[in-house]
């Protein structure tokens, strides 16, 4: 797999998402909040999809058609900038002559190596990279083997349509902001994150299929259970990559309610589920979100 694809996936793809299915259902991973003169739609996404997951549900397409603009975690157009690509590579690459073995330590590296081998991967291929990036790269390589395509994700799909339709696209944060989150993780946290990801690798196919079914049935309780499980495994990662970002986004999302036009906000589904999610924080501010 090309390094650029891995880097883009790592930047946009770490958070748990829900696959959107072509068949319509009673509920969707779509909420709406209302201002005095407009509606803001909140769509949970997965950043990579399979061709079989299209077309998207009618309710989702309707929300897009009614929106003047799109707001995403970051503007997908930013991923093509040479400056960001260079920054991503620098962030993912270990420095000072260190390698993954040095960071992990002999015992933990041997454990990670054995886990990677069980899913058909040679961990030494990633020895020059930081543990956070290795965790993301392995997960995304597995998704590719299951037929997921980084160019077919929800953000890429809608950003393509928006360019054609003349709709504006903005980001809740920048690519630099996202990279800073990973760079700020202590190496010990990164190492544990890698081990945790590898331990879950065996169940990825099962989890993806369950996730699709949960999306199709609007079963948000399934996602809440997954979030609680993730919190138990990596509380520091959960707080850094999910909760802290939700809190930073809230003011920006609420400001959209002051407009006269509708907007569609697209973020990873994990940001819309459970305690301290975007939905929960909106509720605490007296703004009720209705699931479509």
Domains identified in the chain, total number: 1
Whether 126 is in a domain gets the answer no
CA–CA–CA angle 68, 73, 74 (5° rounding): 85
| Residue 119 domain flag | no
DSSP, residue by residue, 105-162: -HHHHHHHHHHHHHTT--GGGGTTB-HHHHHHHHHHHHHHHTT-BGGGSHHHHHHHHH
In a domain, residue 85? The reply is yes
Tell whether 142 is covered by a domain.
no
By the 8 A CB rule, do 271 and 243 touch?
Answer: no
Q: What does the block give as tokens for 38?
A: 């407009």
50 located within any domain = yes
Whole-angstrom Cα distance, residue 291 to residue 283? 13
Question: What b/e sequence results for 88-102 when a residue is b if at least 16 CB atoms lie within 10 Å of its CB, and e otherwise?
Answer: beebbebeeeeebbe
**Each residue's pLDDT tens digit in the chain (292 positions)?**
444 444 444 555 544 443 333 344 467 889 999 999 999 999 988 777 778 888 888 999 999 999 999 999 999 888 878 898 899 899 999 999 999 999 999 999 999 999 999 989 999 999 999 999 999 888 888 888 888 887 778 898 999 999 999 999 999 999 999 889 888 889 999 999 899 889 888 788 788 777 777 766 767 788 788 777 766 567 877 888 889 999 999 999 999 999 999 999 999 888 998 889 999 999 999 999 999 8
Can you give the residue range of the structural domain that contains 42? 3-93+149-180+205-291
Strand partners, 142: none
In a domain, 116, yes or no: no
Rounded to two decimals, the pTM is 0.88
pLDDT tens column, 187-235: 999 999 899 889 888 788 788 777 777 766 767 788 788 777 766 567 8
Residue 125 located in a structural domain: no
Residue 121 in any domain: the answer is no
């Amino acid at each position: 797999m090309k390094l650029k694809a891995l880097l883009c996936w790592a930047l946009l793809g770490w958070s748990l998402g829900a696959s959107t299915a072509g068949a319509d259902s009673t509920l969707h991973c779509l909420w709406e909040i209302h201002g005095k003169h407009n509606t803001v739609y909140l769509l949970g996404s997965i950043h990579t999809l399979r061709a079989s997951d299209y077309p998207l549900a009618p309710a989702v397409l309707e929300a897009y058609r009614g929106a003047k603009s799109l707001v995403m975690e970051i503007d997908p157009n930013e991923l093509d900038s040479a400056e960001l690509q260079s920054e991503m590579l620098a962030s993912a690459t270990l420095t000072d002559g260190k390698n993954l073995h040095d960071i992990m330590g002999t015992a933990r590296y041997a454990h990670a190596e054995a886990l990677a081998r069980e899913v058909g991967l040679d961990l030494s291929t990633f020895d020059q990279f930081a543990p956070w990036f290795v965790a993301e790269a392995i997960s995304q390589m597995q998704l590719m083997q299951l037929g997921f395509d980084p160019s077919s994700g929800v953000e890429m799909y809608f950003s393509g349509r928006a360019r054609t339709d003349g709709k504006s696209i903005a980001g809740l944060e920048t690519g630099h902001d996202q990279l800073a989150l990973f760079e700020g993780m202590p190496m010990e946290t990164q190492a544990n994150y890698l081990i945790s990801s590898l331990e879950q690798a065996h169940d990825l196919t099962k989890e993806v299929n369950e996730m699709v079914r949960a999306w199709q049935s609007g079963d948000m309780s399934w996602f809440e259970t997954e979030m609680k499980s993730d919190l138990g495994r990596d509380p520091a990662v959960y707080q850094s990559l999910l909760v802290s970002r939700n809190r930073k986004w809230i003011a920006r999302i609420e400001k959209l309610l002051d407009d006269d036009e509708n907007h569609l906000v697209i973020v990873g589904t994990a940001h819309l589920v459970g305690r301290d999610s975007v939905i929960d924080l909106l509720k605490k501010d007296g703004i009720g979100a209705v699931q479509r």
